[in-house]
């Protein structure tokens, strides 16, 4: 299957962002993609007050409605990056998987929230978002995918659990900062691919979404050997599509050459 990671420069206006996303999804499908991954907060991105105001239901909210219609019209599997999901009195950073019939077949709530101070910016995601508590894997037309949303990428436990549950591909919707991105983004993506012998499809935000909200971009597809198969420039605010083919035979060959998942010794592992 051909997979595509979409790079966007999202802001506070949902309709404008969804128009951009529609164009980019169309470009990805025209290029042969069967699975398309959008970035974190692709429909609305901005300061906490903007995110809180954008919260919506997964049942009939405008972004999920758009995602269902878009996937069905294009006959494509669509990972709708992430949205601010309102569930009762809580909000979650939630990614949904929509099938080519327009049905929501899986959802993942970001587990690790980005409460960090980096130079020239402070991030306090937990002021708006409540964490999820479940690693999710789902079947996509002969492949099995698992999720890591942005900051989750720094926690290898999630990727390993997904791999042990059969994931062939890890999807990574992200808004990685322009400060941490250059030293960490590619290194972390390649590490998750190498140590779990999976493909990684990472869709990122680029540009700026407000003061202190500057994004690294560089969406990419990495194979199980750690090779970057496709990478965005990180410099196109109009958006960009990068794509590559997932080869399950290559996954099997890598795992035969280096049987590291089978060589694990869980009985020796002790958590501190």
**158-192 pLDDT, tens digit each:** 999 999 999 999 999 999 999 999 999 999 999 99
What is the number of alpha carbons within 13 Å of residue 172 lying toward its C-beta? 33
Provide the sign of the torsion angle of the four alpha carbons 16, 20, 25, 27, taken in this order.
positive
Q: What is the DSSP string of 65-89?
A: HHHHHHHHHHT-EEEEEEEEEEETT
- CB-based contacts of 34: which residues, under 8 Å, 6+ apart? 1, 2, 3, 76, 77, 141
pLDDT of residue 76: 98
Q: Active-site residues: which are they? A: 40, 110, 150
User: For position 121, what pLDDT does the model report?
Assistant: 73
- Asked if the model's pLDDT at residue 234 lies above 90, the reply is no
Beta pairing, strands 240-245 & 2-7:
antiparallel
* Residues ≥6 apart with Cβ < 8 Å to 183: none
**Which structure tokens are listed for 83?**
């949205």
Tens of pLDDT, residues 20-67 = 999 999 999 999 999 999 999 999 999 999 999 999 999 999 999 999
The 3-state DSSP class for residue 105 equals: strand
* Cα–Cα distance measured from residue 75 to residue 34, given in angstroms and rounded to the nearest whole number: 8
Of all residues in the chain, the percent with pLDDT exceeding 70 is 100
Position 182 scores a pLDDT of: 96
User: How many Å is the maximal CA-CA distance in the chain?
Assistant: 52
The CA distance from 79 to 108, in Å, is 10
Q: What is the pLDDT of residue 268?
A: 95
Domains for the chain: give ranges and CATH numbers: 2-262 (3.60.110.10)
What's the mean pLDDT when you consider all of the chain? Answer: 96
Distance in angstroms (rounded) separating the CA atoms of residues 141 and 101: 13
- Which SS3 state, helix, strand or coil, does residue 212 take? coil
- Running DSSP on this structure, what letter comes out for residue 272? -
Give pTM, 2 decimals: 0.97
């Amino acid at each position: 299957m051909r997979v595509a990671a979409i790079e966007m420069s999202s802001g506070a206006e949902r309709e404008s962002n969804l128009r951009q996303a529609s164009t980019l999804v169309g470009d990805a499908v025209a290029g042969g993609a069967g699975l398309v991954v959008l970035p974190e907060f692709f429909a609305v991105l901005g300061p906490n007050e903007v995110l809180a105001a954008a919260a919506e239901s997964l049942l009939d909210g405008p972004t999920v409605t758009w995602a269902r219609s878009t996937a069905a019209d294009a006959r494509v599997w669509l990972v709708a990056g992430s949205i601010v999901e309102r569930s009762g009195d809580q909000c979650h950073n939630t990614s949904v998987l929509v099938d080519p019939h327009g049905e929501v077949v899986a959802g993942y709530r970001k587990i690790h929230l980005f409460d960090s101070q980096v130079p020239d910016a402070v991030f306090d995601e937990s002021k708006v978002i409540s964490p999820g508590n479940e690693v999710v894997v789902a079947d996509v037309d002969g492949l099995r995918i698992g999720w890591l949303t942005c900051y989750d990428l720094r926690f290898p436990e999630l990727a390993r659990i997904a791999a042990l549950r059969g994931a062939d591909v890890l999807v990574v919707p992200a808004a990685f900062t322009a400060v941490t991105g250059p030293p960490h983004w590619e290194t972390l993506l390649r590490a998750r691919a190498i140590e779990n012998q999976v493909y990684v499809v990472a869709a990122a935000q680029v540009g700026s979404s407000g003061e202190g909200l500057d994004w690294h971009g560089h969406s990419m597809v990495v194979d199980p050997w750690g090779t970057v198969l496709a990478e965005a420039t990180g410099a196109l605010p109009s958006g960009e599509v990068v794509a590559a083919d997932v080869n399950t035979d290559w996954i099997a060959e890598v795992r035969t050459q280096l049987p590291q998942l089978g060589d694990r010794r869980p009985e020796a592992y002790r958590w501190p």
